[in-house]
Amino acid sequence: MSKLHFLPIFFACYITVAVVFWKSWLDIIPLLTSLMFTCAFCVKNLQTMRWIVIVPNLLLVFYNILCRTYVSAVLGFIEVVVIVVAIMKFYKASKSLQNKIENTNSSELKNQE
């Protein structure tokens, strides 16, 4: 069974919890981040998932600043930095692998001639 079949169940749970514990309009930010994280983790491509996860993390940093929980805001910002470094690292590794494949293919073509 696909992971996507469970999305409406998770979304309903998140919305129910948000409604039950609603205090102010700020409470919509954690709801949105929960929905975004759930969607991001359903994506099969890890590179795409890393890009999608940046947005809810930044929203949580913003939320923590508004709620004056500065330690959580700093930790959330560090998470964003780690995600960006991971994206850059894997991009560099994939480019390196692609160059090795191209070099191998070009040397094989030269050997065939």
**Mean pLDDT across the chain, nearest whole number?**
86
Give the number of domains in the chain. Answer: 1
Domain that residue 46 falls in: 3-82
**How many whole angstroms separate alpha carbon 77 and alpha carbon 83?**
10
Higher pLDDT, 41 or 68: 68
3-state SS class at 18: helix
Q: Answer yes or no: is 94 within a domain.
A: no
Q: Answer yes or no: is 27 within a domain.
A: yes
The pLDDT value given to residue 1: 47
The pLDDT value given to residue 111: 61
Q: Answer yes or no: is 108 within a domain.
A: no
**How many whole angstroms separate alpha carbon 96 and alpha carbon 113?**
26
Q: Answer yes or no: is 89 within a domain.
A: no
Its pTM stands at 0.75
